[in-house]
Structure 1
Amino acid sequence: MFAISLGDDGAQLRPLEPWQAAEFLAHMDRARGLVDPWIPFAAAATDLDSARALLRRYADKQAADTGRIHGIWLDGTLVGGVLFRVFEAESGTCEIGVWLEPAGQGRGLVNRASRRLIDWAFDVRGMRRVEWRASAANTRSTAAAERLGMTREGVLRQAYLHHGVRHDEEIWAVLAEEWRARR
């Protein structure tokens, strides 16, 4: 397995794999309060079997070249992650997603890890567009997209159903030529 340094603070980006289900579940238990209000990701990993199944789904997506999941470790502890929820190599479009537990907040980890994935998508895989989708009420997520230099393209009104509540969904994106020009 490989690890990519995210800076001088001991932060690393690594693949998340099914054999790490117990560590992932412990992390999700710590992150659940921050993640669950916005996305069903935390609710999909509530015990060891469901955590393993979620990681297996992403292992299958990676094998099919339709998605990937990576963890963010800080001083050896899994504190968050970034993923390509959607990865459509043929069309050149992908969607990045992120999450953190409280111990990872305020350190720029989402920004640093997202930049690594976006660089890879554009420079290595030749993607043309990276999207970021979030509930309009999730201001931390939309602020992260803005810090990455993404453009808010629009709002899909009441498009996202979560916990029985309809949310407006914001769509942010950056194009390959924009990303390269900003670097």
Structure 2
Amino acid sequence: MFTLPIDDDIKLALLGPEHAARLFELVLANRDHLSHFLAWPGLVQQQEDSRQYLCQMLGEYGEGHSLTCGVLLDNELVGMMDLRGLDARRVGVLGYWLAEAYQGRGIVTRAARGLIRYGFVQLELEKIELRCAVSNHRSQAVAERLGCELEGTLRRAELVNGHCFDHRVYGLMRNQWQSG
């Protein structure tokens, strides 16, 4: 199964249905935190929901549409990270979430750097985008640390729990990444 070592402490790994219980526990424990900017946490009601999600993500990986991995810190699942939209356009969209207790340690930035490297080198992407709510200052800071450029704002881009968010769209081109 796919594993991408990031450093001594962090790796990204494809998760299978056998990880559903831990993923469900993590989402359940962080539901309020995650629901601030994400619409899906409230839809995860039972372990079977996590199992179905993991099976769907494995299918999309097998079809070459996305790469969705668990973020493992010292082999413990602490979040998820993905590259989606892997198609003929050669543009991947980076997404992630991390359990609240693990934020502020640089985990997302380090893991994202590794996944970006994989996206440009192994998947031969031309561009990687990162989209986040205008009010999500932590994700904006991640984008900037990764060297992404702000490309614009999508107005009223997503409805999350009754709130309509504008999204900032950041982009990193392959030639920018190579020169960095």
Give the gaps of 5 or more residues in structure 1: none
Task: Name 1:72's counterpart in structure 2.
Answer: 71
Q: Does 1:49 align with 2:33?
A: no
Check conservation: 1:34, 1:100, Cα contact below 8 A: no
Cα deviation code 1:75-117 (max 9, x no counterpart): 33211121113222x1111101011112221211111111111
Task: Name 2:134's counterpart in structure 1.
Answer: 136
Q: Which amino acid aligns with 2:96?
A: V
Distance 1:80 1:119, change over 3 A: same
Task: Name 1:5's counterpart in structure 2.
Answer: 5
Secondary structure of the residue that 1:98 maps to in structure 2? Answer: strand
Residues 1-183 of structure 1 aligned to structure 2 (within 5 Å): 1=1, 3-8=3-8, 10-88=9-87, 90-182=88-180
Q: Which amino acid aligns with 1:162?
A: V
- Cα distance in 1 for partners of 2:64, 2:3 equals 20
Structure 1 residue 3 displacement after superposition: 4.1
Q: Which amino acid aligns with 1:165?
A: H
Secondary structure of the residue that 2:38 maps to in structure 1? Answer: coil
- Cα distance in 1 for partners of 2:159, 2:55 equals 25
Structure 1 residue 42 displacement after superposition: 2.3
Check conservation: 2:70, 2:77, Cα contact below 8 A: yes
Check conservation: 2:10, 2:111, Cα contact below 8 A: no
- Cα distance in 1 for partners of 2:6, 2:29 equals 22
Structure 1 runs, 4 residues or longer, greater than 4 Å off: none
- Cα distance in 1 for partners of 2:26, 2:111 equals 17
Cα deviation code 1:120-165 (max 9, x no counterpart): 1111111101010111111111111111110010001112111122
Q: What fraction of aligned residue pairs are identical, expressed as a percent?
A: 29
Computed over aligned residues only, the root mean square deviation of the Cα atoms, in angstroms, reads: 1.5
Check conservation: 1:40, 1:162, Cα contact below 8 A: yes
Secondary structure of the residue that 1:179 maps to in structure 2? Answer: helix
Secondary structure of the residue that 1:87 maps to in structure 2? Answer: coil
Secondary structure of the residue that 1:116 maps to in structure 2? Answer: helix
